[in-house]
Amino acid sequence: MSTFKTDPPDVAQWQARHRTFDQTLARGEERLAAKGRLRALRQPAGLDLSSNDYLGLAEHPWIRQRLQAALADGIPLGSGGSRLLRGNTAHHEAAERAVADFAGAPAALMFNSGYDANVGVITTLTGAGDRLFADELVHASMIDGMRQTKAVRHNFRHNDMAHLRELLARDAAEHMGRSGTRFILIESVYSMDGDVAPLQEIVALAEQYEAFLIVDEAHATGVFGPQGRGLCAAQGMGHVPLVTLHTCGKAWSSFGAFVTCSEAVKQRLINRCRNFIFTTAMPPLTAVHHLAVLDVLQHESWRAEKVLALAQRFRDHMHGRLDMGQSVTQIVPVILGTDQRACFFAESLQAGGYDIRAIRPPTVPRGSARLRLAFNAKLDEADVDRLAALMGKLLLQVTD
């Protein structure tokens, strides 16, 4: 017989404990606010230059018709379970076959988010005795995956091939004749800087030091390569990475992600990846969404061409006047240095009708607070010209 106390809980006492805990949390947020780094949720307002809807597909009428038709045909609204239970449908499998074909890979596996995919791939494919060589600016999901694995982690300076070579050479000397696998982890397009990885040099180093590549194409998928297949495909290296990640929440304007890989890697993920096994599958309607996006990419390549041209138009306007890093993509950072300066520019541009947000540490390195301009196919040249003119006026104000 249970000896636990069965009297009703003292609600007032619990509420008092909750208030004390809430006050402790609030003090932490007050410290963030004092530094100008308190985050808050805001709804969209103004011309979009902050979302990742690069191709403008979030409101695409034909994609909407495809989804409406699927609903009219009675597609289930939910999956009802994990893929390994009852959550696997013909729609999921059709999307995976289509994405594998799109990427020119033997197989593809759908994940519920890019974050889940990166953490799952790294923790499932790497382990004790392995060594990971990651660009210092890889996404938080890759960083969290590396933190959870028993593999040894090495960071190389962003896009610094001499530093990567040095780390690989040292590792080769120290581990000669010993077991373990080397992996190089990169993004093809870096989300806060808008620059690209030197893929040719990275592949050469991977070959020399017998390392496998894991490439996150999140911000390249849909924008670069034939029919938006990504930067690896654009440079003729689509078959080189062991694993390539294509997220659906950026240029595809959906959500979820696909890992493209060999059939053996896919089976390992299905059987051992906790991020895949222990989660409810995405609704079948999402798979229909993905298939519709693939059709649009095949027939509307002008969207990617337009967005890259708009970004270049802005860079041309502001050349020599703004620090835009090494951007060559649809993402253009405006590096302003201090949090206060970044917030001033963001608030002023918002007042001018643009939805532009300030990006501050710890999202970016200390002293590199910035605006992250994400150009998209819904904009036109007049929007870009007016933005450049407004930016020029603000530069005069801060200079004065």
Active site residues: 52, 139, 187, 191, 216, 219, 250
Element (H, E) at 382: helix 381-399
Amino acid at 239: H
Count CB-CB contacts under 10 A for residue 289: 26
Q: Which residue in 56, 38, 39, 57 sits closest to 47, CA to CA?
A: 56
- In the chain, the DSSP E strands lie at 47-48, 107-111, 131-135, 152-156, 182-187, 211-216, 243-247, 257-261, 331-337, 354-355, 358-359, 369-374
57-68 burial code (b ≥16 CB/10 A, e <16): bbebeebeebbe
Structure tokens at 203: 């592949």
Which residues are CB-contacts of 247 (< 8 A; sequence separation ≥ 6)? 113, 114, 117, 216, 217, 218, 221, 256, 257
Provide DSSP, 241-294: -SEEEEESSSTT-S--EEEEE-HHHHHHHHHH-HHHHTSPPPPHHHHHHHHHHH
Distance CA 36, CA 50 (A): 19
83-97 burial code (b ≥16 CB/10 A, e <16): beeebbbebbeebbe
Distance CA 51, CA 399 (A): 29
Structure tokens at 305: 């061409």
Residue 351 backbone dihedrals phi, psi, to 5 degrees: -65, -25
Burial class, 51, CB count within 10 angstroms (exposed 0-12 / middle 13-18 / buried 19+) = middle
Question: CB of 216 within 8 A of CB of 298?
Answer: no
Q: Which residue in 215, 209, 230 sits closest to 134, CA to CA?
A: 215
Count CB-CB contacts under 10 A for residue 130: 18
